[in-house]
Amino acid sequence: MNMVVLLKQTFDTEEKIELVNGSVAEDHVKFIINPYDEYALEEALRLREKHGGSVTVVSCGPDRAGEALRTALAMGADEAVLVADNDLPDDGLAIAAALAEIVKSIAPDLVLAGLFAIDRGAGSIALQVAERLHLPHASAALKLDIRECDELPEANTSGGNSPYTTILEANASVNSSPANGVVKEGVAEKMGGCSDHHHLDENPRAKEAGKRSMKAALPDWEAASELIASVERETEWGIETVLLPLPALITAQQGLNEPRYPSLPGIMKAKRKSLRHLTVNELHLTADDLTPRSERLALLTPPPRAAGKKLTGTPEEQTIALVELLCSEAKLFGAD
């Protein structure tokens, strides 16, 4: 199984942000692989250990981003590609276009990326890449398994002391019925891509959708074999298990895994691995791709927050004083 990991180099989370002449100062700053991208990379390495194949890390950034890619190679990635960003406008669309071109040339079975980058924090680029390449996606993965198409995954795996109710059975129509304090809910099946007879036979609507999907919403290439990804992902409403036919793009949430440190032999090996440098001119981008959609007008740091008052007295007195201050001074919980 061939995989691409989209990776960005970011400031370490411990770094303060200081502005010098209107831009963020980079002197003496420690750079890291964006933590969410590191989960994505670790997952790709684990999947390769299980299923074979290759892992290519791809980044778009300045020269220094090469260090992050070298670290990724030391962790175990097979190859790396760095697109120099100096001819790209400061806009997500152009970066997504550049990354999509490279992913397309590799035509991997699976694309992994972080949920968002801790610097810009938009979480936009990876999903723009998915859209450009007509790949289905699943966001915020907490668990990921790859299976052959005819293997049916079990309904769910969370258990123990998890803060979630038990789970739904697939294949039922949508209805809710609280029983024994457990919320059970049917999930409408939405099938496509891979021919999962068990589901399709029982749901005519899904069957129809499945047929159409074979012709219509196809990705720009086909996966090497009929594989599906089973993704447990974090949502605001709970943990959702989603099945995706490959090729697909999946973003990693914190908790997906514990990334490894590069080993010493890994670091030595990484020096001989391929780190390809590309310029924007070497990609087939259109003038429209390179046209910025937005621009930065100003960069600012927030006004420092002044320390307030520490309360005194017995614990009782302090809590009474606090509730009063929150009402009278901070104007919370007022009459209005």
Partner 1 sequence: MLNSTQNHTALVFAECSDGKLRRVALEALGIARRLAQDGGAVHAVLAGGESAARSAAAAELAARGAGVVHVIDDPALALFAPEAYAAAIGAAAAAVGPSVIVLGHTAVGRELAPRVAAALRAGHIADVTAVETTDGGDAVFTRPLYAGKAFERRRFLPGSPWVITVRPNNLPIADLVPEDRKGIIAALPFTAPPLRATIRSIARKVGGGVDLSEADVIVAGGRGVRSAAGFAPLEALASTLGGAVGASRGACDAGYCDYSLQIGQTGKTVTPKLYIACGISGAIQHLAGMSQSRVIVAINKDPEAPIFSVADYGIVGDLFEIVPLLTKRFQHFLAQPGD
What is the footprint of partner 1 within residues 243-302 (CB under 8 A)? 243-245, 248, 253-255, 288, 291-302
Phi-psi region at 274: left, alpha or beta (left = phi > 0; alpha = psi -120 to 50): beta
Task: With CA atoms as reference, report the closest residue to 85 among 101, 61, 109.
Answer: 61
83, 97 Cβ separation under 8 angstroms: no
Which CB atom, from 79 or from 232, has the smaller least distance to partner 1?
232
Q: Which of residues 2-31 bind partner 1 (CB under 8 A)?
A: 11, 13-17, 19, 24
* Window contacting partner 1 (CB under 8 A); options: 52-60, 67-75, 80-88, 304-312: 304-312
Which CB atom, from 55 or from 248, has the smaller least distance to partner 1?
248
Q: Cβ–Cβ contacts within 10 Å for residue 241, how many?
A: 21
* Window contacting partner 1 (CB under 8 A); options: 53-61, 67-75, 126-134, 264-272: 126-134
Size of the site for partner 1 (CB under 8 A): 119
Q: How far is the CB of 264 from partner 1 (least distance, A)?
A: 26
The four Cα atoms 47, 52, 53, 56 give a dihedral, to 10 degrees, of 40
- Site membership for partner 1, residue 82 (CB under 8 A): no
Q: Cβ–Cβ contacts within 10 Å for residue 137, how many?
A: 18
259, 41 Cβ separation under 8 angstroms: yes
- Site membership for partner 1, residue 308 (CB under 8 A): yes
Strand-pairing partners, residue 79, are 56, 274
Strand-pairing partners, residue 60, are 83
Residue of the chain from 105, 235, 279, 328 that contacts partner 1 (CB under 8 A): 235
Radius of gyration, CA atoms only, the chain: 24
Q: Which of residues 39-58 bind partner 1 (CB under 8 A)?
A: none
Residue of the chain from 20, 264, 287, 307 that contacts partner 1 (CB under 8 A): 307
- Listed in sequence order, the residues at least 6 apart from 48 whose beta carbon sits closer than 8 Å to its beta carbon are 1, 3, 54, 55, 76
- Site membership for partner 1, residue 328 (CB under 8 A): no
Q: How far is the CB of 291 from partner 1 (least distance, A)?
A: 7
The alpha carbon of 189 is separated from its chain's Cα centroid by a whole number of angstroms, namely: 24
* Cis ω for the linkage preceding 247 (within 30 of 0): yes
Which CB atom, from 85 or from 189, has the smaller least distance to partner 1?
189
Q: How far is the CB of 72 from partner 1 (least distance, A)?
A: 18
Which CB atom, from 70 or from 137, has the smaller least distance to partner 1?
137
Q: How far is the CB of 151 from partner 1 (least distance, A)?
A: 13
